[in-house]
Amino acid sequence: MKINPSILSADFSKLADELNAISSADAAHIDVMDNHFVPNLTIGLPVVKRLQQVSPIPLDVHLMIEKVDSEAPKYAQLGVDSITFHLEASESPHELISTLRASGAKVGIALKPGTPFAAVTDFLDEIDMLLIMTVEPGFGGQSLLEETLVKIAQARSYLDTRKSDVILQVDGGVNLSNIGKLSELGANCAVAGIAVFGSGTPSDNISALRRAASHS
């Protein structure tokens, strides 16, 4: 299981230090929120640009923004490793995927808890990652919604049947108690905010999450 800590729960006054504290992780998950697609506002292009310059690990950018068709390509041009956009926010997903790809970024599509898996099947051949939100996007520190688990199993079975290597990422409420179950259901990349930055040492928390995922 890949572990991508979400810096939403990090100390925003010292993001470079926080990125160094998670250098053992697979990638840093960067939550971009515009206060329109979700009722919260985080960071935008200039900050992500600096994070990309100083990060010791790849950046996994999760865009929770409304005008994604025009804005997402600007993030891809920063050279970040991957860009994930919400299917609910894009008017022309096929076109957006190819624009992002042309910038050299890996591409992910995210689904809110209420969006069925069937909505994304047309795009799976074109993307690198499917993000199944396990909470309503907008805030860190929420509890995982049990009703989203069936979608993970559904996605895993669909991808395996087609021998697809699309990464299955889960985001929201992931912790030591449920990461084993998420791994069993077929997720192979977990975002974790509070579970990494909440208490203790981020690097120890990352190791503990990896162990818990493999001992399911």
- The reply on whether position 112 binds Zn ion by CB under 5 A is no
* # residues near ligand DX5 by CB under 6 A: 22
CB of 161 to ligand DX5, least distance (A): 28
Member of 86, 105, 171, 213 binding ligand DX5 (CB under 6 A): 171
- The reply on whether position 116 binds ligand DX5 by CB under 6 A is no
- The reply on whether position 31 binds Zn ion by CB under 5 A is yes
Query: With CB under 6 A as the contact rule, which of the stretches 47-55, 99-107, 146-154, 172-180 interacts with ligand DX5?
Result: 172-180
Q: Is 31 a catalytic residue?
A: yes
Member of 193, 205, 210, 213 binding ligand DX5 (CB under 6 A): 193
Place of tokens 């928390």: 205
Query: With CB under 6 A as the contact rule, which of the stretches 82-90, 121-129, 166-174, 201-209 interacts with ligand DX5?
Result: 166-174
DSSP letters of the chain?
-EEEEBGGGS-GGGHHHHHHHTTTSS-EEEEEEBSSSSS-B---HHHHHHHHHH-SS-EEEEEE-S-HHHHHHHHHTTT-SEEEEEGGG-S-HHHHHHHHHHTT-EEEEEE-TTS-GGGGGGGGGG-SEEEEESS-TT-SSPPP-GGGHHHHHHHHHHHHHTT---EEEEESS--TTTHHHHHHHT--EEEESHHHHSSS-HHHHHHHHHHHHHT-
- The reply on whether position 18 binds ligand DX5 by CB under 6 A is no
Q: Is 171 a catalytic residue?
A: yes
- The reply on whether position 140 binds ligand DX5 by CB under 6 A is yes
- For 215, the token pair is 């001992």
- The reply on whether position 202 binds ligand DX5 by CB under 6 A is no
80 binds, among ligand DX5, Zn ion, none (CB under 5 to 8 A by kind): none
Q: Which residues are catalytic?
A: 31, 171
